Amino acid sequence: MDTPLHPPVSDPDLRLLDRYWRAANYLSVGQIYLLDNPLLRQPLEAGHIKSRLLGHWGTTPGLNFIYAHLNRIIRQRDTNLLYICGPGHGGPGMVANTWLEGSYSEIYPDISQDAEGMRKLFRQFSFPGGIPSHAAPETPGSIHEGGELGYSLVHAFGAAFDNPNLIVPCVIGDGEAETGPLAASWHGTKFLNPVRDGAVLPILHLNGYKIANPTILGRTDDGDLEQLFNGYGYEPLFVVGDDPQLMHRQMADVLDKAFDRIQQIQQAARRGEAQKRVPRWPMIILRSPKGWTGPKTVDGKKVEGFWRAHQVPVAECRENEAHREILQQWMAGYHPDELFDDAGRLMPELQALAPTGDKRMGSTPYANGGRLRNLLEVPDIRQYAVEVNRPGETLAQSTAVLASYLSEIFTRNPENFRLFGPDETASNRLGKVFDVTNRSWMEAILPWDEQLAQDGRVMEILSEHQCQGWLEGYLLTGRHGLFNCYEAFIHIIDSMFNQHAKWLKVSRKLPWRKPISSLNYLLSSHVWRQDHNGYSHQDPGFMDHVANKKADIARIYLPPDANTLLWVGDHCLRTWDRINVIVAGKQPEPQWLTMDEAIRHCEKGMGIWHWAGNETAEDPSDVVMACAGDVPTLETLAAVDLLRQYLPDLRVRVVNVVDLLAMQTKEQHPHGLDEQEWETIFTADKPVIFAFHGYPALIHRLTWQRNNHRNIHVHGFNEEGTTTTPFDMTVLNELDRYHLAQNAILCVPGLQEEAGGVLDALQEKLAAHHAWVREYGEDIPEVHNWKWPSHEDKGGAPD
Amino acid sequence: MDTPLHPPVSDPDLRLLDRYWRAANYLSVGQIYLLDNPLLRQPLEAGHIKSRLLGHWGTTPGLNFIYAHLNRIIRQRDTNLLYICGPGHGGPGMVANTWLEGSYSEIYPDISQDAEGMRKLFRQFSFPGGIPSHAAPETPGSIHEGGELGYSLVHAFGAAFDNPNLIVPCVIGDGEAETGPLAASWHGTKFLNPVRDGAVLPILHLNGYKIANPTILGRTDDGDLEQLFNGYGYEPLFVVGDDPQLMHRQMADVLDKAFDRIQQIQQAARRGEAQKRVPRWPMIILRSPKGWTGPKTVDGKKVEGFWRAHQVPVAECRENEAHREILQQWMAGYHPDELFDDAGRLMPELQALAPTGDKRMGSTPYANGGRLRNLLEVPDIRQYAVEVNRPGETLAQSTAVLASYLSEIFTRNPENFRLFGPDETASNRLGKVFDVTNRSWMEAILPWDEQLAQDGRVMEILSEHQCQGWLEGYLLTGRHGLFNCYEAFIHIIDSMFNQHAKWLKVSRKLPWRKPISSLNYLLSSHVWRQDHNGYSHQDPGFMDHVANKKADIARIYLPPDANTLLWVGDHCLRTWDRINVIVAGKQPEPQWLTMDEAIRHCEKGMGIWHWAGNETAEDPSDVVMACAGDVPTLETLAAVDLLRQYLPDLRVRVVNVVDLLAMQTKEQHPHGLDEQEWETIFTADKPVIFAFHGYPALIHRLTWQRNNHRNIHVHGFNEEGTTTTPFDMTVLNELDRYHLAQNAILCVPGLQEEAGGVLDALQEKLAAHHAWVREYGEDIPEVHNWKWPSHEDKGGAPD
């Protein structure tokens, strides 16, 4: 047995702590039920009670219990704790505790620490114009929206990375513990380095029931639980019971032990003692009744310790006098007169139990990451530029070029930036970053292993949920990062993306919440280059999902080559309070723009590539060939090349779009172009053949308000995919050069009759492609070796 | 120790089994590399080798090892096994084994069991026009697409439910084991009843590496692994090593033990012995080298037992002679002459190792569920109809009405139907089903627990991933089911939905795959009725996600009341090879249509509600008030009510849409209306005020090809949500009656000037709403108590 680092807490101190807990419980009940009469100075009347009773009592007393005990730890050890409240439905508890410690009233002075403030505190809860029923951006001390379950522990680890002076107690409900993302999150310790990172203290709160069901882990016996968490690599510590007095003693002792263990692990590691394996971090299993200290039964039915305590344990207290009496007894049982003085202030001896200043969990800057955020140090993108003497002459791998820039980001921001990915960083051609850092890995490293280190800064785990959640936690505590992922599988975190977008939408409007770095996605190994993995790996629909979000948050970029990707990547990393989605290729592809051109093009978001077209001021375009995405750009230019060979008199304009949402109107999106600007690019009346990276419908929904909309003909992914060659993927979906050129001919009024032979020639090329691919399993040389321009370039207008 | 039920396998038999394994390995390598010369009868030349080398070798020898050993078990015990191949990238192994046993050639006679067939088998793999590199619908014996990782074990449990004579060995790669959904899947045993269900035998295959990283579980020591899986409730059995001879012995003995244990558990349970807790089912942990039996090193770099063996262990065998020599040695090392006869047929003594007929894992009907599928027995929906004497008079909870119908489905289909949900069945008001069944629960049941039973047929776990995966496995093996979920959180399974839609798209075109029941979603607790849980619970975007899929697969229904929901629910449950999304409310809401009207309306998919409008043949409509979804329908009718009160001369048409995708053209969707039909409903030129359940953009993308599209003004969810009242949710998003009526006035040419006073009156009503809600926290009586019609009904045209 290790000697405790602190003497055990005294019984009188525990009795004080119990009173603090009762105060928090009292305030929690009050929020759910009361409109008025907050201190029960009069008998409860119908008019004191809310007409709609909303909120979740079941988990709340447990959350309050933990909060009160953690306050003691902070004072004892002068440590920084960030409380992650997985059972976020227990919003009343988080609000109650931050009000008790004073954090709440500092942020919301109108909710003062007195009887009137308490009245407003109660009234506003789950009330129109008030605050949500769950822990939310509005809740001081929270980085974790309590709506969708599953992400508390992964957020905790994200917060702890690179925060060596932070400990993150993370309460995980036994409901949440059934979700997949949570079940995988326990492995976070295998990536947590006690030298440079903080610690996570998981507190698995087993109250036994969900909405209307027992929980799996709640019904699992202690022996199996102990093995399970030992197996995950933890040292589980149990706190079990329902008698508050006994539970306070257990909890205090177990917390002392857990924080001692954390300190020992960190100190040993920071003294430089060799770490042979992942430290066996402590975790706590707290079994306490659902709805603890609430009504035991209502109308003869079991409530405390059962799922009936999940939300509002006694209903209709406005209408039903007997129920109102239960509520009265329940609240009075906390003895508010022993907790609050005449003015409704917490008794001074209880006030003294809370930490002060930024040590209060409701005031910690770690929960308001913008307060801690340092700007990212970025290099000049020009030094990574690909030299482009002529459009299409050079080949480069866009993501590999970006990787050089990212390496410098790592170098300049040694404690402030991480790259996340599900075992795909090398596959996405970002391997260059391993010149300056490694993959983070706390398990054993074998002699032949490569690019693994305990201090690696590339976070790879085969779980998109973990990558997303770690990054969210990292950003919400004030740092910077990038998530690289196969495009198709980013849908795995659609719902996590939703919740983060919701968080940003709300937090941006709260003046006390400072901006955090944007959540940046680099989606590579995209739909058009998953010919080898086949149909299961082909899906460009994440863009559609993102486009549904508030326009002031969402951005989607489709850089067509390496220099544009450099601009976009750099731009996104320097933004805040947004979600940026970048879709870019990893294969060798022709490069179109010099760095200067790329900068100008990206700043506008879209534009005419005059060098690729052949219109003139006197002889304007007959057709606009537009594109967004690297493969669509390549196919569009190849189609233009064909058109200019076969139909030299046809006037073609080439338009490329990088900033997809700028296709919308100014009213729809801050980047949107007004109709006049838009027509300058897309014309007011010419056919537009639009080659698009994603589902064609997305272009239609972005442009339906444009006057020329009915003239836009979109080619994109039509769910036609399989294992084949890269070019054949485009043919299957009619995004290829031949179909694009054909459609251009069909859409220019009158051209079809004149160019019937060209249509036939293009059809023959398609036939030749099919025959070749089926025979040789690779793309026909005419396509594979194609270079812009093969037509005799008669020159377009100058750029 | 239990006495083994069978004598241990003899050494000569294991030597034969080793040859069988070598044959499968040989065929796997051949698929990845060879175009020709399948039996290596000539030295390998460049021309024999594919120009693009694709496929995943690393996991394949392990998969083959397991397959060969399972063949022995089937013959020994005459049992039905369904092999779930989690590392689906190991497609070559699944193909090789089904070819060896004859299943492959029966389905694809062109790929015969001889040298020519072998040549074609090799050539087609990962080759344009051939087969995918992963286990896929094309793969005999598979119900599991091997692209996206995480769902093997949950599929296995879904397959085992209600299949008492089936055992499902499920191979889980250590990469996949890092995903969240897989980590949660281990709990499936807590819902698996050994009396009525089959068994799942998880085989955790630790080969130590992912694409470019070690795996977490691969690096976890055996002690922790043993504790982890004990903690999950299993009896872990280890098979560890790299010497094939020793490994065969271990594997055979461990499999014997595992199948003995399964038999003991099942027999004890089926004899009626009381089960106090979840049986401790066996699972196997197989540690074998990645790329086992492949090249040990290439160019001096470690390959076998390292991540370099993940895909193609020796590259450029066409161009690089030394590499080609490695390939030659590698393949020759399997001694094809000992495996295949002169004609390229598997030696007879090896053929005898495979099971025969439907016992072959490639031919089992359990992997082609349509072969086993019985039609669902359904009652007449009329007997559950809500009586509707006048539109709007009756209140009913739509999902509660459907629940009565579902109860009868349970009764009539005692082994063929299950309901799945993440602890929300009661919350979604489907509690009526508990009159006839219970929740499935194998853990302890306490005296006060309700609606829990070992033979319950409602599957509840707080994991949308598990619900989805169980249902997929259940459907793919020929049964029927329904997934009920909160609308917002169905995004959690967006990516699983994608993969299932992809499966259906491909499997529908394979004549040998028989149709399976549709995957049905009932999304309730939807965006407009999450006023109490707040913004985190508000998201209607799943419809957008679904609308991207192939039109012959996806259906979206928005029944406006209980009788339409009955028709839709019944219809969906009787379809096959589709994905049906139903969005329906659970709160008491006005009922609009009699059962007869509901049937006629739903069969058309959309239509004019003549009783609600006031146009006549002589006096056609000035404006179309359209709606889709229950709350939008309510608000539209209330808006029409206001318009008819305030502006009795305005001619209003009311249109309701149930079958959302029918809004598209006939070319876009099989349910689509042609332009003429569409204009009969929506008019050719009148303004359409469209109140929509989801994001407005979805209506635009479905209708942009309509001539009257620019005249459609959509009100829907604009990401404005919080904790408030139900009606205030609609006001925040301008979907409420007042905004709809206002917009109608603004959009009818010339009406604005005439009806300025009405606009003001509506604005005053909005102000009154705001004041009331902020004061009382509930909806203003004018709204709360509103009933159709409060205007003097001057009668519309007859329906």
* Neighboring chain A residues of B706 at a CB cutoff of 8 Å: none
Say whether A227 and B224 touch across the interface (CB within 8 A): no
Say whether B128 and A719 touch across the interface (CB within 8 A): no
CA separation, residue A575 to residues A537, A553, A572 (Å): 30, 11, 5
Among A559, A612, A592, A565, CA closest to A394: A592
- The pLDDT, as a whole number, for residue B416 is 95
Say whether A214 and B446 touch across the interface (CB within 8 A): yes
* Neighboring chain B residues of A535 at a CB cutoff of 8 Å: 132, 136, 147, 502, 505-506
Residue A474: pLDDT over 60: yes
A317-362: pLDDT as tens digits: 999 999 999 999 999 999 999 999 999 999 999 999 999 999 999 9
Residue B622: pLDDT over 70: yes
The Cα–Cα gap between B131 and A724 comes to: 9
The Cα–Cα gap between B699 and B535 comes to: 23
* Neighboring chain B residues of A129 at a CB cutoff of 8 Å: 724, 773-774
The predicted model scores a pTM of 0.97
Residue A794: pLDDT over 60: no
A122-131: pLDDT as tens digits: 999 999 999 9
Other beta carbons within 10 angstroms of residue A301's beta carbon come to: 11
Q: Which of residues 428-467 of A touch B (CB under 8 A)?
A: 439, 441, 443-444, 446, 448-449, 451-452, 460-463, 465-466
Among A424, A433, A425, A381, CA closest to A404: A433
**Nearest CA of chain B to the CA of A720: how many Å?**
9
The Cα–Cα gap between A511 and A521 comes to: 27
The Cα–Cα gap between B351 and A585 comes to: 47
CA separation, residue A687 to residues A229, A619, A797, B449 (Å): 63, 16, 20, 67
The Cα–Cα gap between B700 and B230 comes to: 54
Per-residue DSSP letters for B551-614?
TTTEEEE--SSHHHHHHHHHHHHT-BS-EEEEE---SEEE----HHHHHHHHHHSEEE-GGG--
| B127-156 as b/e: b if 16+ CB within 10 A | bbebbbbbbbbbbbbbbbbbbbbbbbbbbb
- The pLDDT, as a whole number, for residue A198 is 98
Say whether A719 and B499 touch across the interface (CB within 8 A): no
Among B698, B689, B622, B692, CA closest to B657: B692
Mean pLDDT throughout A427-438? Answer: 96
Query: What totals of helices (H) and strands (E) does chain B contain, helices first?
Result: 27, 23
Beta pairing class for A80-81 and A166-173: parallel
The Cα–Cα gap between A529 and A586 comes to: 8
The Cα–Cα gap between A661 and A670 comes to: 9
Pick the residue of A123, A216, A700 with the most B CBs within 10 A to test the interface with B by mutation: A216
A360-375: pLDDT as tens digits: 999 999 999 999 999 9
Among A424, A596, A418, CA closest to A517: A418
Say whether B505 and A719 touch across the interface (CB within 8 A): yes
Pick the residue of A50, A723, A731, A769 with the most B CBs within 10 A to test the interface with B by mutation: A723
Q: Residue B502 is nearest to which of A230, A535, A697, comparing CB atoms?
A: A535
B675 touches chain A (CB under 8 A): no
Say whether B532 and A54 touch across the interface (CB within 8 A): yes
**Nearest CA of chain B to the CA of A348: how many Å?**
34
The Cα–Cα gap between B305 and B241 comes to: 11
Mean pLDDT throughout B388-405? Answer: 96
**pLDDT confidence band for B794 (50 / 70 / 90):** low
Say whether B550 and A134 touch across the interface (CB within 8 A): no
Q: Residue B231 is nearest to which of A224, A449, A725, comparing CB atoms?
A: A224
* Neighboring chain B residues of A713 at a CB cutoff of 8 Å: none
Q: Which of A545-554, A655-664, B540-549 has the lowest mean pLDDT?
A: A545-554
CA separation, residue A469 to residues A152, A494, A504, A545, B180 (Å): 9, 12, 15, 18, 12
The ipTM (two decimal places) reads 0.97
* 8 A C-beta contact, residue A467 and residue A428: no
For residue B305, give the chain A residue with the closest CA.
A448
The Cα–Cα gap between A793 and A786 comes to: 15
A38-97: pLDDT as tens digits: 999 999 999 999 999 999 999 999 999 999 999 999 999 999 999 999 997 889 999 999
Strand locations in A355-438 (E): 395-397, 417-421
B239-271: pLDDT as tens digits: 999 999 999 999 999 999 999 999 999 999 999
Residue B714: pLDDT over 80: yes
Q: Tell me what the pLDDT averaged over chain A comes to.
A: 96
B667 touches chain A (CB under 8 A): no
Say whether B302 and A532 touch across the interface (CB within 8 A): no
Say whether A548 and B544 touch across the interface (CB within 8 A): yes
Please say whether the dihedral angle defined by the alpha carbons of residues B69, B75, B76 and B79, taken in this order, is positive or negative: positive
Domains of chain A: 14-368 (3.40.50.970), 381-588 (3.40.50.970), 608-784 (3.40.50.920)
Which residues share a beta bridge with A517? A576
Beta pairing class for B606-608 and B652-657: antiparallel
Strand locations in A291-336 (E): 297-298, 301-302
Beta pairing class for A297-298 and A301-302: antiparallel
Mean pLDDT throughout A587-614? Answer: 97
Strand locations in B351-462 (E): 395-397, 417-421, 439-440, 452-453, 458-460
The Cα–Cα gap between A46 and A53 comes to: 13
Beta pairing class for B395-397 and B588-590: antiparallel
Q: Is A34 helix (H, G, I), strand (E, B) or coil?
A: strand
What phi, psi does B257 have (nearest 5°)?
A: -65, -45
Contacts of B10 (CB under 8 A, 6+ apart): none
For residue B711, give the chain A residue with the closest CA.
A705
Q: Give the gyration radius of chain B's Cα atoms.
A: 31
**Nearest CA of chain B to the CA of A212: how many Å?**
6
- The pLDDT, as a whole number, for residue B792 is 67
Say whether B180 and A181 touch across the interface (CB within 8 A): yes
Residue A232: pLDDT over 90: yes
**pLDDT confidence band for A589 (50 / 70 / 90):** very high
Omega prior to A244 cis, within 30 of 0:
no
The Cα–Cα gap between A595 and A566 comes to: 9
Mean pLDDT throughout A593-597? Answer: 98
Q: Is A751 helix (H, G, I), strand (E, B) or coil?
A: helix
The Cα–Cα gap between A316 and A326 comes to: 11
Beta pairing class for B166-173 and B199-206: parallel
Per-residue DSSP letters for A224-290?
HHHHHHHHHT-EEEEEE-S-HHHHHHHHHHHHHHHHHHHHHHHHHHHTT----S----EEEEEE--T
A725 touches chain B (CB under 8 A): yes
A607 touches chain B (CB under 8 A): no
Q: Which of residues 479-498 of A touch B (CB under 8 A)?
A: 488-489, 491-492, 494-495, 498
Assigned token pair, A475 = 């950003």
Strand locations in A649-756 (E): 652-657, 688-692, 712-715
Say whether A449 and B214 touch across the interface (CB within 8 A): yes
Beta pairing class for B452-453 and B458-460: unpaired
Residue A635: pLDDT over 70: yes
Omega prior to B789 cis, within 30 of 0:
yes
Strand locations in B250-304 (E): 282-287, 297-298, 301-302
The Cα–Cα gap between A411 and A613 comes to: 42
Question: Cα B633 to chain center, whole Å?
Answer: 30
Percent of chain A topping pLDDT 90: 95
Among B334, B179, B604, CA closest to A182: B179
Say whether B776 and A51 touch across the interface (CB within 8 A): yes
CA atoms within 13 A on the CB side of B176: 29
| Rounded (10°) CA dihedral A63, A66, A68, A72 | -160
B202-242: pLDDT as tens digits: 999 999 999 999 999 999 999 999 999 999 999 999 999 99
Pick the residue of B461, B536, B669 with the most A CBs within 10 A to test the interface with A by mutation: B536
- What sections of A660-733 are H helices per DSSP? 675-682, 696-703, 726-732
Mean pLDDT throughout B500-513? Answer: 97
B99-111: pLDDT as tens digits: 999 999 999 999 9
CA separation, residue B588 to residues B395, B433, B523, B620 (Å): 6, 18, 16, 34
Residue B796: pLDDT over 60: no
Pick the residue of B227, B450, B459, B462 with the most A CBs within 10 A to test the interface with A by mutation: B462
Say whether A548 and B541 touch across the interface (CB within 8 A): yes
The Cα–Cα gap between B84 and B78 comes to: 19
Mean pLDDT throughout A552-572? Answer: 97
* Neighboring chain A residues of B723 at a CB cutoff of 8 Å: 54, 126-128, 130-133
Pick the residue of B144, B178, B428, B459 with the most A CBs within 10 A to test the interface with A by mutation: B178
Residue A276: pLDDT over 80: no
Longest dimension (CA), chain A: 98
For residue A451, give the chain B residue with the closest CA.
B213
Q: Tell me what the pLDDT averaged over chain B comes to.
A: 96
Q: Is B421 helix (H, G, I), strand (E, B) or coil?
A: strand
